[in-house]
Structure 1
């Protein structure tokens, strides 16, 4: 395997470990253990961690090593604000692009998430929730928006809390999703932008209630 391909594969593997929480915020990336785990030398591993540092997922501390980044509550709240603005823009853009097929797919997501919400199954709801949002962002066909939005979401993974369950329930979150889809179906740009923006603002409020717990 070419070094660049190996580095990219290692980057994806490490990113997965970080975003799923197997490597926790503040945890040091042990090069010896990771090299043994992935069956590779430490050179490509270091290249991969440099890419993760550029993404804001790890911090390199001189003479100490590389650590999974910890996001402070203040930084998380600022990320939510920027994410709300970008997501609102996505809603506005989508009103000009929405199709019957897209609406049908979105409604399939809503039905499935409603069923999971009734069971209060966070571990099933959370990845589907991410997939729903990713589908919306990708459907804008705006690669720069998608890249910046995903970067913000990745950072929020580092401080994610089960606020959806603790502060109102999964059904509340999915009700907001339905408001967004209804706004898209209306074809009203301002309504869609507001619905998308408000959803992230409410997510921020749910996150805020988990602080200090």
Structure 2
């Protein structure tokens, strides 16, 4: 015999009833979370745009950054601008001076030399590691960038070509480091490159160094794809250190830093031949 439940079954609550049953504190917390996510997304977009303006040279070293003007230009409130300044300061691209404001950072030459030396070590290590385990897909990606560089040389050296080459060059070196597979190393490398970006654009100005630079990138690629770790590391180290020497010359220095051996760069790097990294 079927046993009946003497208690009346409770009706299934509607979606509206369930929504109304959510505690007010939980609803408020949800709204706060959504607001934080939206603010974070906006801050990221603002940070990316200001960083782009700095790296493109539209906001030059030493330029003062004004919250109100940037907020108007980007169509946002001052909050995201202020947070973007904090992120950019941590990245070494701006400096905040008490009672004066925020300024695009100028890299002192002694610090630039240190960054170049650190970059040389990173890229030498990356080249050696990659030569031992590069995949066909990675080799194809690097080869495509070098071929695009060579095409720019054939087509001419106007300002547009120099700008395109600059981006390809950055992409080539970042890919080399990324392909090693160490995320911490990639993050560190990108920070170093960003700090040197304005100096490196000056080095590239006029396009005179592009043909020599292309040949160096082709030699680096050849060593890596041939599995020659020694040649790959040596070529990348010389490539970066020659750029350091050129930076010192452009800054008016008559010689490399005292702690740099005269043979740090490859023998082909005679003073009369400027190189590009």
Q: TM-score, with normalisation over the residues of structure 2?
A: 0.72
Find the counterpart in structure 1 of residue 123 from structure 2. 87
RMSD: 1.9
**2-structure distance, mates of 1:130, 1:10:** 22
Question: Which structure has the larger Rg over C-alpha atoms?
Answer: 2
Question: Bigger shift: 133-142 or 98-107?
Answer: 98-107
Deviations 1:5-29 (A, max 9, x none): 2111111111111111111100011
**2-structure distance, mates of 1:162, 1:21:** 10
Find the counterpart in structure 1 of residue 55 from structure 2. 19
Find the counterpart in structure 2 of residue 74 from structure 1. 110
**2-structure distance, mates of 1:167, 1:114:** 13
Find the counterpart in structure 1 of residue 99 from structure 2. 63
**2-structure distance, mates of 1:22, 1:168:** 23
Deviation at 1:168, TM superposition (A): 5.7
**2-structure distance, mates of 1:4, 1:67:** 23
**1-structure distance, mates of 2:151, 2:229:** 29
Q: How many residues align?
A: 213
**2-structure distance, mates of 1:102, 1:6:** 33
Q: Is the 8 A contact 1:163 1:209 kept in 2?
A: no
Structure with the largest fraction of helix: 1
Deviation at 1:90, TM superposition (A): 0.9
**1-structure distance, mates of 2:231, 2:200:** 28
Contiguous gaps of at least 5 residues in structure 1: none
Q: Is the 8 A contact 2:166 2:201 kept in 1?
A: no
Find the counterpart in structure 2 of residue 35 from structure 1. 71
Contiguous gaps of at least 5 residues in structure 2: 1-34, 254-277
Taking the TM superposition and a 5 Å limit, the aligned residue runs for 1:154-193 are 154-164=194-204, 169-193=209-233
**2-structure distance, mates of 1:183, 1:130:** 19
**2-structure distance, mates of 1:53, 1:144:** 19
**2-structure distance, mates of 1:166, 1:36:** 34
Find the counterpart in structure 2 of residue 146 from structure 1. 186
**1-structure distance, mates of 2:47, 2:181:** 25
Deviation at 1:126, TM superposition (A): 1.0
Question: Which structure has the higher relative contact order (CA within 8 Å, separation 6+)?
Answer: 1
Q: TM-score, with normalisation over the residues of structure 1?
A: 0.92
**1-structure distance, mates of 2:218, 2:131:** 15
SS of the equivalent of 2:199 reads coil
